[in-house]
Amino acid sequence: MSKTSTISTENFFKQASKKVRLPEDRKKILLKISETIAKEYVKSNVVNLNFICTHNSRRSQLGQVWAFYAAHYFDVNIHAFSGGTEVTAFYRNTVKTLQSVSFDFNVEDFSHQNPKYLISFDGCKKTILGFSKRFDHEMNKTPFIAITTCNNADKNCPFIPTAIERFHLPFADPKVSDNTPEQTAAYLNTNEQIAAEVFYIFAEVKNLVN
């Protein structure tokens, strides 16, 4: 399994940041996240981000992958992780929408229930391992800043002891489009929205730490 794309990851990332219109109240949340990351970065010279959603199958995975890319793009020492309150799988449609913007997926460990993928992009010096896991999985380095991406995670994770800070940043769930003609467009829309907001966060962090 590899890339199936016509647009580069970099171009999609930059275009999303220009195309997606962020309301002022959303920008305030993103800025708070940026300020918290920057504060921790200045103190420790490294930050761990953990994107958390109930099933760790769609939005939290997109958050992790784009933060992984953004750390490279903005040249900052920020590590991206993801997890859920339950373990399911890195959903196939999530993989497809990331492949469509030139992320490369190679199966590291095949499992019908929860395969593991080595994820990379053109120019990257390292890969990340993508699969569904709990937010407190041993691979998720601590301490971390938690970013919950769906309403269920917000309700089910009222207290995360290993989190430096916790922010709720919900995104539309593309799951509602599964097995419909709107499926590809819905996943790409969520992919683009998350890319744009991760761009905003990291750009602000870069400005603040400089």
Inter-residue contact 37 to 145 (CB < 8 Å)? yes
Q: What is the pLDDT of residues 125-161, one digit of tens each?
A: 899 999 999 999 999 999 999 999 987 655 655 568 8
Gap between the Cα atoms of 198 and 30, Å rounded: 9
Residue 6 has pLDDT above 90, yes or no: no
Which fold would CATH assign to domain 9-209? Rossmann fold (3.40.50)
Q: How many CB atoms lie within 10 A of CB 33?
A: 22
What would the 3-class secondary structure string for 65-129 be?
HHHHHHHHHCCCCEEEEEEECCCCCCCHHHHHHHHCCCCEEEEEECCCCCCEEEEECCCCCCCEE
Q: What is the pLDDT of residues 173-202, one digit of tens each?
A: 999 999 999 999 999 999 999 999 999 999
Inter-residue contact 51 to 132 (CB < 8 Å)? no
Strand partners, 80: 49
Q: What is the pLDDT of residues 70-86, one digit of tens each?
A: 999 999 999 999 999 89
Residue 3 has pLDDT above 70, yes or no: no
Q: What is the pLDDT of residues 19-31, one digit of tens each?
A: 999 999 999 999 9
Tokens of residue 129, six digits: 């391992």
Inter-residue contact 108 to 90 (CB < 8 Å)? no
Tokens of residue 93, six digits: 């449609």
Residues in the chain, total: 210
Enter the pTM of the model.
0.94
| Coil/strand/helix, residue 46 | coil
Inter-residue contact 146 to 166 (CB < 8 Å)? yes
Gap between the Cα atoms of 101 and 108, Å rounded: 21
